[in-house]
């Protein structure tokens, strides 16, 4: 039985949802489901979970580029077939986990993983794990920056911290290539964000023939696009100062491109967190409003992140997340310690700005 | 011989982190369209601009989401990626796979697509990157018939729910995150595939307040495991940590010498509610004051465990900054038991969705709607009673929109009687 284009509705199956997860759990996981006692990180990237039954499961976590080919996934599956009874899992941050039910199986598994440089072991505990990120130039139409390339450059530089647990607490890094933030960078210890800085320009001669003007006008979240007549042709005008550079108009209408090599930049935000541990979850804050977008290795971005990470690692107390440290010493001190210039652009003037202004005489001199 | 020179991308083959360039180059030997992908990507590296455009809705018949149309803006130069659409495949809860199943998907994707994937997209789906319009129905047929697998969501609908690995391998899990996620996904299939919402809606489930799937930051409806009785203490194991026989933090900080473990400094004093005490022999917790932040449990997992009366907290309305500013989800239900079939939770979700569908403007997330009309309207619609747990602090302005029914005697007044007392 196969799909018949002449009869597309015949035997059609819909609304079945995903496969049931129980089909895919290794036997030791299935057996001890909900009955785990404790875990230990034996070394960077290697976890041991102990169950009430006395069973143990050993997990080896390895990095993966989120962008993966079928062949590379098969390489991982071959290892899972050889060592893990044909089971494998991914983590929520693009890492891959291989599980074995006996300590004696651990070293052979590790040896095979170490033989393949595409599967470096690490990503546990108080270190830097994989970067959550979006598509960038490899697959999206509104990015201001690439995603996979910057992730590669930053993680090459921070690789030591992927394989050690020597930071005061875990540091979660995320990247989104435009302000739509598919990667939800707004609560990360360090966030890398692509930002356009030029409003879309309008191709007046073509726009009315290739776009539905009302859709383009309605797409703009800030109402910056208005109908206009240019050289006798129906078109639109863009109110530049109102534009927030989201690219929604370009999504609706290819005659309104906004990407621009000179204007597009990298924003660095820091101090967010998600866990409820000790302090409440927090938003990331803009500390560098713009760095140039410089493929293939974005050295300015890499250096800025390394600097912030190193200053944090040296100064924060054990258990303190980056944002907790910055709040303890005060953000004025954070800028000083990290040797970052403060700029009026770092002061919020968007919807929730007032919450971020200082309303006390208590502050620290720089 | 590669079809295009890629000197800029080649630089990304160096270094210890896995290189997507090396990976794609190898796959391109059997999937020539990836030569064009590399060529176009190299051009983007040179131009510092993307070469994709949107332009055109594609999908499978009867579904309003699950496929994202993608076209090259240089189709003559890079014909292999002229059409390069994304297919979102609904992931199994907890992201466990058997190799047999993944091999089946990979075989299909090599035949009908580019052979390139994202494991996984940020919402949680398995993302298959790059196919042509005429393949979409074929792919959907094979997924549903041969692999018993459906597409995920995109657009103004329920996005594919996701969860942490929960009870399958985490001792902290207070709810069965995977089962809740799977059950919700199945219950809301129609909402997932057929856009009827003002905008996207995300459900995420974390087993405990460590919140490994970022539910509190990223979901419109966040289900986060918690407990409401006492943290279970094994005093002997506490002693074990104090004496240095057990490794604190399950070894998470072992890469640096932080000195001898100090229970007072590292646990008692860091407890945000200061509800713990240590007299040198026994650890005491004033559990009524504990806010279940997980810190002490994370530090001493062999000595402390969440209580036994487990359930979830429900929070609503998180979103990224666009458009009305970023929001974390806000607490609407402090505690709910979570037993299949989760009817109480679904009843609440249905009320929330109905209200949002009725009052939400186009592209208004539920958090923004709550921001626009206020918690009062939300709570009325959700039939929830206001309780102090919902706020950090009470309002600091008295500008309450009183309703007539709340005021003694209502708003109708007798003018004649008033004027008798207060002549004009
Ligand atoms: C010692 C305490 C903790 C334990 C035992 C623990 C356990 C786990 C487990 C089992 C996973 C895999 C879950 C999955 O991928 O579905 C995980 C991943 C994760 N957890 Fe935790 N967690 C702990 C503390 C935290 C805290 C405090 C945070 C947040 C600040 C956190 C954030 C994360 C994140 C972001 C991931 C994805 C990791 C990756 O893929 O590299 N965890 N954790
Ligand atoms: C107005 C806001 C947004 C717009 C216009 C938007 C648009 C897009 C577009 C065009 C893509 C396709 C990229 C591709 O070709 O694969 C995409 C992917 C995606 N978006 Fe968004 N997005 C928005 C916000 C968000 C947010 C806030 C999230 C999550 C919290 C999100 C999650 C995703 C995910 C998971 C993908 C799949 C690809 C990936 O993981 O990178 N989006 N989005
Ligand atoms: S963050 Fe922006 S550019 Fe990046 S994938 Fe999402 S919508 Fe596209
Ligand atoms: S980029 Fe966004 S804000 Fe700017 S004009 Fe286009 S739709 Fe409006
Ligand atoms: S959210 Fe809690 S239960 Fe789920 S994996 Fe993380 S620590 Fe475990
Ligand atoms: S869970 Fe947090 S609040 Fe509760 S006792 Fe432990 S450290 Fe204190």
List all residues whose CB is within 6 A of at least one atom of ligand 3.
Answer: A 134-135, 140, 142-143, 176-178, 180-182
Torsion from C-alpha of A102, A108, A112, A117, nearest 10 degrees? 80
Which of A1-5, A213-217, B353-357 has the least mean pLDDT? Answer: A1-5
pLDDT given for residue B320 in this prediction = 84
Q: Is B141 an interface residue toward A (CB < 8 Å)?
A: yes
The 3 state secondary structure assigned to chain B is: CCCCCCHHHHHHHCCCCCCHHHHHHHHHCCCCHHHHHHHHHHHHHHHCCCCEECCCCCCCCCCCCCEECCEECCCCCCHHHCECCEEEECCCHHHEEEHHHHHHHHHHHHHHCCCEEEECCCCCCEEEECCCHHHHHHHHHHHHHHCCCCECCCCCCECCCEECCHHHCCCCCCCCHHHHHHHHHHHCHHHHHCCCCCCCECEEEECCCCCCCCHHHHCCEEEEEEECCCCEECHHHHHHHHCCCCCHHHHCCCCCCCCCCCHHHHHHCCCCCCCEEECCCCEEECHHHCCCCCHHHHHCCCCEECCCCEEEEEEECCECCCCCCCECCEEEEEEECCCCCCHHHHHHHHHHHHHHHHHCCCCCCHHHHHHHHCHHHHHHHHCCCCCHHHCCCCCCCCCCCCCHHHCCCCCCCCHHHHHHHCCC
Q: What is the pLDDT of residue B88?
A: 96
Chain B closest-CA separation from residue A259 CA (Å): 6
Q: How many CB atoms lie within 10 A of CB A346?
A: 16
- The arithmetic mean of pLDDT across residues A293-299, rounded, is 98
The DSSP symbol for A356 reads G
Of A19, A155, A259, the CB nearest to B92: A19
Contacts of B61 in chain A (CB under 8 A): 8-9, 12
pLDDT tens-digit profile, chain B (424 residues): 689 999 999 999 999 999 999 999 999 999 999 999 999 999 999 999 999 987 567 999 999 999 999 999 999 999 999 999 999 999 999 999 999 999 999 999 999 999 999 999 989 999 999 999 999 999 999 999 999 999 998 878 899 999 999 999 999 999 999 999 999 999 999 999 998 899 999 999 999 999 999 999 999 999 999 999 999 999 999 999 999 999 999 999 999 999 999 999 999 999 999 999 999 999 999 999 999 999 999 999 999 999 999 999 999 999 887 777 789 999 999 999 999 999 999 999 999 999 999 999 988 999 999 999 999 999 999 999 999 999 999 998 888 989 999 999 999 999 999 999 999 8
ipTM: 0.95
Whether the pLDDT of residue A235 is over 80: the answer is yes
- Does the domain at B232-305 match CATH 3.30.70.270? Answer given as no
Say if B168 is an interface residue toward chain A (CB within 8 Å).
yes
Q: Which of B139, B186, B321 to mutate to test the interface with A (most CBs of A within 10 A)?
A: B321
Please check whether residue A24 touches B, CB under 8 A.
yes
Which part of chain B is CATH 3.30.413.10?
162-218+315-390
Among B89, B90, B101, smallest CA distance to B136 is for B89
What is the per-residue pLDDT for A181?
86
Question: What's the average model confidence in pLDDT over A113-141?
Answer: 97
Say whether A137 and B50 touch across the interface (CB within 8 A). yes
Instruction: In chain B, list all ranges with CATH 3.30.70.2500.
Output: 7-146
Across the interface, whether the CB atoms of B171 and A86 are under 8 A apart is answered no
Say yes or no: A129 contacts chain B, CB-CB below 8 A: no
Class of the CATH domain delimited by B7-146: alpha beta
Q: What is d(CA B227, CA B309) in angstroms, rounded to the nearest whole number?
A: 6
Question: Which residues between 47 and 86 in chain A have a beta carbon less than 8 angstroms from any beta carbon of chain B?
Answer: 49, 57, 59, 63-74, 77, 80-81, 86
CATH class of B162-218+315-390: alpha beta
Query: What percent of chain A is modeled with pLDDT above 70?
Result: 99
**CA-to-CA dists, residue A135 to A148, A165, A319, B273, B390, angstroms:** 7, 29, 32, 41, 36
* A342-351 confidence digits (pLDDT tens): 989 999 988 7
Rounded to 10 degrees, the C-alpha dihedral A56/A121/B27/A65 comes to 100
pTM: 0.92
296-355 in A: which are within 8 Å (CB) of B?
A: 296-297, 318-319, 350-352
A151 neighbourhood in chain B, CB within 8 Å:
17
What per-residue confidence (pLDDT) applies to B55?
58
- Is the CB of A212 inside 8 Å of chain B's CB atoms? no
């Amino acid at each position: 039985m196969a799909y018949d284009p002449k009869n597309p509705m015949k035997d059609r199956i819909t609304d079945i949802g995903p496969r049931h997860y129980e089909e895919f759990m290794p036997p030791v996981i299935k057996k001890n489901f909900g009955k785990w006692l404790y875990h230990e990180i034996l070394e960077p990237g290697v976890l041991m979970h102990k169950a009430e039954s006395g069973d143990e499961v050993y997990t080896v976590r390895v990095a993966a580029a989120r962008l993966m080919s079928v062949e590379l996934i098969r390489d991982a599956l071959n290892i899972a077939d050889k060592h893990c009874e044909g089971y494998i899992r991914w983590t929520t941050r693009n890492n891959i986990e291989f599980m074995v039910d006996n300590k004696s199986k651990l070293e052979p598994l590790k040896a095979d993983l170490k033989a393949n440089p595409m599967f470096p072991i690490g990503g546990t505990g108080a270190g830097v794990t994989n970067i959550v990120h979006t598509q960038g130039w490899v697959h999206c139409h509104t990015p201001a920056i690439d995603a996979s390339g910057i992730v590669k450059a930053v993680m090459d530089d921070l690789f030591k911290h992927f394989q050690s647990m020597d930071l005061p607490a875990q540091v979660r890094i995320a990247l989104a290539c435009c302000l739509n933030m598919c990667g939800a960078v707004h609560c990360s210890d360090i966030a890398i964000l692509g930002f356009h800085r030029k409003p879309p320009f309008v191709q007046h001669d073509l726009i009315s023939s290739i776009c539905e003007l009302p859709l383009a006008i309605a797409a703009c979240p800030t109402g910056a696009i208005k109908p206009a007549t240019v050289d006798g042709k129906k078109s639109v005008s863009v109110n530049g100062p109102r534009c927030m550079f989201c690219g929604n108009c370009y999504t609706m209408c290819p005659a309104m491109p906004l990407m621009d090599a000179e204007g597009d930049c990298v924003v660095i935000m820091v101090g967010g967190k998600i866990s409820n541990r000790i302090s409440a979850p927090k938003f990331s804050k803009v500390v560098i409003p713009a760095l140039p977008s410089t493929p293939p290795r974005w050295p300015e971005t890499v250096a800025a992140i390394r600097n912030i990470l190193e200053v944090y690692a040296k100064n924060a107390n054990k258990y303190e997340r980056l944002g907790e440290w910055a709040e303890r010493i005060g953000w004025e001190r954070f800028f000083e310690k990290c040797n970052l210039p403060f700029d009026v652009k770092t002061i919020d003037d968007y919807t929730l700005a007032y919450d971020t202004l200082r309303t006390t005489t208590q502050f620290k001199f720089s | 011989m590669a079809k295009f020179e890629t000197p800029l991308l080649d630089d990304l083959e160096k270094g210890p982190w896995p290189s997507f360039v090396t990976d794609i180059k190898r796959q391109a030997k059997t999937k020539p369209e990836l030569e064009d992908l590399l060529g176009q990507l190299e051009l983007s590296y040179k131009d510092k601009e993307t070469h994709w455009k949107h332009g055109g809705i594609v999908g499978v018949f009867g579904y309003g989401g699950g496929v994202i149309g993608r076209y090259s803006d240089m189709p003559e130069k890079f014909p292999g990626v002229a059409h390069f659409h994304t297919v979102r495949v609904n992931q199994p809860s907890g992201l466990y796979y058997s190799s047999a199943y993944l091999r089946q998907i990979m075989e299909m994707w090599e035949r009908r697509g580019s052979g390139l994937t994202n494991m996984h997209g940020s919402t949680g789906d398995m993302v298959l990157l790059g196919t042509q319009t005429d393949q979409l129905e074929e792919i959907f047929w094979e997924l549903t018939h041969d692999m018993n697998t459906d597409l995920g969501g995109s657009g103004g609908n329920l996005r594919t729910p996701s969860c942490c690995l929960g009870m399958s391998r985490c001792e902290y899990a207070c709810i069965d995150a995977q089962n809740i996620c799977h059950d919700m996904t199945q219950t809301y299939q129609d909402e997932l595939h057929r856009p009827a919402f003002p905008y996207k809606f995300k459900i995420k489930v974390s087993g405990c307040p460590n919140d490994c799937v970022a539910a509190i930051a990223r979901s419109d409806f966040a289900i986060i495991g918690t407990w409401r009785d006492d943290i279970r203490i094994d005093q002997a194991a506490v002693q074990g940590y104090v004496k240095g026989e057990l490794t604190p933090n399950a070894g998470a900080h072992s890469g640096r010498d932080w000195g001898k473990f100090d229970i007072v400094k590292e646990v008692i004093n860091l407890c945000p509610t200061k509800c713990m005490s240590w007299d040198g022999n026994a650890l005491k917790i004033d559990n009524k004051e504990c806010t279940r932040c997980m810190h002490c449990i994370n530090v001493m997992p062999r000595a402390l465990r969440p209580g036994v009366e487990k359930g979830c907290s429900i929070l609503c309305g998180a979103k990224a900054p666009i458009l009305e500013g970023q929001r974390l989800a806000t607490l609407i239900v402090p505690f709910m038991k979570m037993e299949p079939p989760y009817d109480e939770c679904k009843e609440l979700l249905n009320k929330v969705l109905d209200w949002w569908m009725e009052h939400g403007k186009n592209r208004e997330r539920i958090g923004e709607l709550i921001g626009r009309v206020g918690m009062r309207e939300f709570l009325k619609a959700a039939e929830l009673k206001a309780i102090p747990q919902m706020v950090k602090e009470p309002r600091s302005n008295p500008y309450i929109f009183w309703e007539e029914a709340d005021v003694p005697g209502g708003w109708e007044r007798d003018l004649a009687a008033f004027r008798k007392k207060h002549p004009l």
